[in-house]
């Protein structure tokens, strides 16, 4: 085998995970994330954050499923701070009777 053939074999070496090494012989290249990162709409728009209130059922209904459950923040993209505020205001609205506890 010539030196060129040996170098070609080394370039095509496979890691333990079965992924090909990059050109420098280091780790395989990272995969691109095909999902867009969700941004908290309340952090982006402070005026909208001021509208979070138990009386504003139109806004709160956006964060409730059709069965009456609060949608988790990993789906809505809200930050932890505003998810806590939303949950508190939804519970207030439910206790007063503005929002349903459960929909049949």
- Are 3 and 42 within 8 A, CB to CB? no
Give domain limits for the chain.
1-31, 41-96
Task: State whether residue 14 is helix, strand or coil.
Answer: strand
Residues paired with residue 76 on neighbouring β-strands, in sequence order: none
Give the pLDDT score at 103.
74
pLDDT in tens, the chain (104 residues): 667 666 666 555 555 555 665 556 666 667 777 777 788 999 999 999 999 999 999 999 999 999 999 999 999 999 999 999 999 999 999 999 999 888 76
Give the pLDDT score at 92.
97
Q: Which CATH superfamily is domain 41-96 in?
A: Ribosomal protein S18 (4.10.640.10)
Give the pLDDT score at 33.
74
């Amino acid at each position: 085998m010539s030196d060129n053939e040996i170098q070609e074999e080394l370039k095509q070496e496979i890691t333990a995970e079965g992924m090909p090494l990059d050109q420098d012989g280091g780790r395989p290249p990272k995969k691109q994330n095909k999902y867009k990162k969700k941004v908290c709409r309340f952090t982006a728009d402070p005026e909208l954050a001021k509208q979070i209130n138990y009386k504003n059922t139109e806004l709160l209904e956006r964060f409730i499923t059709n069965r009456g459950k609060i949608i988790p923040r990993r789906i809505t993209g809200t930050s932890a701070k505003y998810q806590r505020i939303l949950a508190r205001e939804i519970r207030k609205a439910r206790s007063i009777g503005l929002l349903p506890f459960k929909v049949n």
